Structure 1
Amino acid sequence: MFIQPWNAGHLLVHLARPNPVWTAIDNDPNVLFTVFGDYAFIPGPWRAKPDTPPADGVPTSYYAAVQFTCRATLVDDPEDKAELLRRQMAHFQPDGDHAPISVDQPPYDRMLPGIRGLRLEVTGVRAKFTYDDHKPVGHRTAVADRLTERGQGLDAPTAHQQRRRLGRIGPWKP
């Protein structure tokens, strides 16, 4: 699956034709599309308040999540699917270092029947970003450092996101 902004208020997606989601969309074109990133588990000892035992810290997770409520329109016409792929490739491979995407030229001509496209008209957006914003800057910096040291999964991008946010959040209030 690839997602790409199409224009203001729309997303473009393509999925494999055998995907079971098509039955649900045929029954109801109102869909919820969710994306998340930079997820990391933060152990309790990392969050313990000063002058308290580390074991008294309460664990949490840092993450970014966005839910789009959308109205889905199927894209099944071969030329329309090719155009959808062209837009996605222009985003993901802007240097153009790929074969032309055409309904009658290899390699995409034989692949287009295996996918279906979706044009998702966004009708609502909900987002949540959880990074201990209520904690002091020093605490959030220390957690970002520990994420960098741990280096598992999405720890590095989560630490980057935490550091990026430090100066953009208002002053901490005790």
Structure 2
Amino acid sequence: MYTPPAFREDDRAALHAMMREARLCHFVTATSDGLIATPLPLFLDPDEGEHGTLHGHLAKANPQWKSAPIGDAMAIFMGPDAYITPSWYASKREHGKVVPTWNYAAVHAYGPVEFYDDTARLLEVVTRLTDLHEHERPERWAVTDAPEAFVQAQLKGIVGLRIPITRIEGKRKMSQNRPAADRAGVAEGLADSGRISDRIVAGLIPGGK
């Protein structure tokens, strides 16, 4: 990922927070048949390994796990993003030398991938993933709410995956390279947008509202 110094995010805690907030990622492997990608909800264990470890599962019918990866796997986590019109820049009114751009946050995590079908490990991963996304709900669903025989049958249809992260890159492009007046204009414009994602980005502009 191209990360100019103004946009590079190196703080480990911030990178992990961006990954958690993204929730769904794209799991990518290079194979002899070409690139293969699957959208997956993975969870991060920050204390497992130097940079943390990603865990999840995919359908056993998915051919991605059957194609031996060439080199490391990649997990792409995309955060909030928004189109930025030059009309919001104060500098447009001053000299007009401005162009559109896009603001976004992203993390790319790399590492060797392990696939497995051990039932006990699969049950642990499914339980942890479920608990992670149910914990904020007032009426939480748990894996144990389903009949045990049904759960065991479902586990036969998935394959677990584990990616110990060996390299991680983060980028937070939020108009940091623009003058203060331009950033304020971007934040105001995004805050007035009808898109929820735009309003989220508005709150991430340095020096914005």
Q: Pick the TM interval, shorter chain.
A: 0.7 to 0.9
Contact 2:111 2:167 (8 Å CA) reproduced: yes
Report what 1:47 is aligned to: 89
1:143 to 181, 186, 192: 186
How far 1:4 moved relative to its partner? 0.8
Gaps of 5+ in 1: 168-174
- Please tell me whether residue 99 in structure 1 is matched to residue 142 in structure 2: yes
2:130 to 89, 108, 127: 89
Gaps of 5+ in 2: 1-39
Rate the CA distance shift 1:100–1:32 in 2: closer, same or farther, 3 A: closer
Contact 2:43 2:56 (8 Å CA) reproduced: yes
Rate the CA distance shift 1:101–1:16 in 2: closer, same or farther, 3 A: farther
Q: Which runs of 4+ in 1 moved over 6 A?
A: none
How far 1:42 moved relative to its partner? 0.7
Contact 1:14 1:118 (8 Å CA) reproduced: yes
Contact 2:131 2:142 (8 Å CA) reproduced: no
Counterpart Cα distance in 1 of 2:180 and 2:55: 38
2:198 to 141, 155, 160: 155
Which amino acid letter does the alignment assign opposite residue 187 of structure 2?
A
Contact 2:108 2:170 (8 Å CA) reproduced: yes
Rg larger for: 1
Rate the CA distance shift 1:139–1:44 in 2: closer, same or farther, 3 A: closer
* TM score, norm. by length of structure 1: 0.79
Matches within 5 A, 1:1-174: 1-8=40-47, 9-24=52-67, 26-28=68-70, 30-47=72-89, 49=91, 50-53=93-96, 56-94=97-135, 97-101=140-144, 105=148, 107-152=150-195, 154-162=197-205, 165-166=206-207
Instruction: Figure out how many residues of one structure are paired with residues of the other and give that number.
Output: 162
- Report Cα offsets for 1:13-37 as digits up to 9, x if no partner: 222222232234x243621111111
